[in-house]
Chain A
Amino acid sequence: MIDFSNLDTDKLWEATYETFYMTLISLTGTFVFGLLLGLLLYLTAKDGLWENKPINIITATFVNVFRAIPFIILILLLFPFTYFLLGTMRGPNAALPALIIGAAPFYGRLVEIALKEIDKGVIEAAQAMGAKTTTIIFRVLLPESMPALVSSLTVTAIALIGYTAMAGAIGAGGLGSYAYYAGFQRRAFDIVLICSIIIVLIVFIFQFIGDYLSKKLDKR
């Protein structure tokens, strides 16, 4: 039988809060930057509304490079950048730049795929009505791809929860940090177990909300 004698509920709550905090803030940042990257990839592609080969190649390269670097190495690589930005390397805030830079390119690709799924005829119809490109972006592209954008964001959020745990293991706080330092390193496996359970629950919550929203938005 496992007993939970090592567990400190206050610390567990704090760690859970930090995980939520890191996930939600980085998810917001990822949404904004990922959307921009995805739009840029889509619009500047061949036959796109802003067809532009150089910008398309630069964006695609940026996305590919940052998607290729394993997250744990990305955090280390970004140490100087994070320090320059925040003046510290520890705590939940220190994890945010790496989380966003790691997840935004991933989300950007998913956004691009979602946009490509939009019926070209609808875009053409908007053009025939005399719509500006910005109108097409905000009134056609984004609303028409919304269910896919939301379900992609769900996938990204779950990846981000995993990333926060990894960031935690090198000092960012949160459930990953608590499980690693207070649990694993002190052979208190009850803490590791309970942290895992909570993380699984958080993932379930995100998946549930994401599925619900995506379904509700989809009028097809």
Chain B
Amino acid sequence: MISIKGLKKIYKTKHQDIKAVDSITLDIDEGEIYGVIGYSGAGKSTFVRLLNRLEDPTAGSIVIDDKEMTSLKGNSLRLARQDIGMIFQHFNLLWSRTTEENIAFPLEIAGVPKKEREERVQELIDLVGLTGRETSYPSQLSGGQKQRVGIARALANDPKVLLSDEATSALDPETTNAILDLLVDINQKLGLTIIMITHEMHVIRKVCDKVAVMEAGQVVEQGQVIDVFSNPEQEVTRKFVEQLMTNTEEDDSLDFVLEQAKEGKIVQLHFAGESTNDTLISNVAKSYDININILQGKITQTQNGALGKMVIQMTGEKAILAEALNYLKNTSTAVVEVIRDDD
């Protein structure tokens, strides 16, 4: 669907050249939600703006839906842009237009006749959940509602790709979740490919299938969200995972937990992926005559299943405990690590 090769953007200043985007090579499949995460200044915004040519690349190629974007000019570029929707952190709505007029704007640009335009606008308003706010001006809408207008506007011309540049960064957590749910819903309903630029781990874990981690203009890690974040290789990726899991705190308190739980086996389960069996613990407890006590845990759900870890205490007869442990190891894909054996 989208194929990016050796993409570069270099800003020349008097004193030095700044590599905002440095040799990015990526492939994004149709219907995928692809996250690009990085701290500010990592070049992720420049990267997404290169995709619809709001910025001109210094080198490299971008193929979207078999169209080479980098060689397009004038009218053909404008037509190609109509197939790529974009939403923004600060919504970028026209304050002089009402909700429906804002959504109609891209249709006007594409030369859609008035009657069709009105029908399409109503459809979109229903799709994004803005029914009843048709004639409100942006100043009369909340942040979340404004972003819904932004999304409807971006979808007006039935694009194949949606670019989202920090679309939830100006919203509160609750509204962020509602907007993310809407994006996933649209992705599933319309089969739209979405590229999400963000600095929030939460966004990546909640909606993205794949992720690229950017640092200093380069993609330092990429792949399935669950793989990249269950096994971070780069320092920056590790930091993002910590942001989600706050691992450091847990490790500190593990000693405390071990002191408290004197008896039995202490086992740590690492979950990573869709095969995680959510009734695992109760299955073990039912099948074997042992007691299980959850001491500590942090598990978060991603698009591809659970990610996280849990520390449990297992008490009971020695032989049965060993059997139960084997059951754990064999039936779940969670990595089972015995922290303290029962001797």
Contact = CB atoms under 8 A, between A and B. Distances in A.
B63 to A, nearest CB: 18
A219 B95 contact: yes
B139 interface: yes
B82 A140 contact: no
B84 A128 contact: yes
Given A130-B82, A132-B78, A121 B92 contact: yes
B88 A121 contact: yes
B304 to A, nearest CB: 30
B208 interface: no
B238 interface: no
A129 B96 contact: no
Nearest to A124: B54
Determine the main DSSP class of B at the interface with A.
Answer: mixed
Contact of B137 (A127, A143, A219): A219
A122 B92 contact: yes
A130 B110 contact: yes
Contacts of A128: 52, 54, 81, 84, 86, 163
B79 interface: yes
B261 interface: no
A139 interface: yes
Given A219-B96, A219-B137, A129 B54 contact: no
Given A139-B105, A219-B139, A220-B139, A130 B92 contact: no
A18 interface: no
A169 interface: no
Given A121-B90, A127-B54, A130-B109, A144 B95 contact: yes
Interface in B72-105: 77-82, 84, 86, 88, 90, 92-97, 105
- 4 tightest A-B contacts by CB? A130-B81, A125-B92, A130-B78, A121-B92
Interface of B: 52, 54, 77-82, 84, 86, 88, 90, 92-97, 105-106, 108-110, 137-139, 153, 157, 163
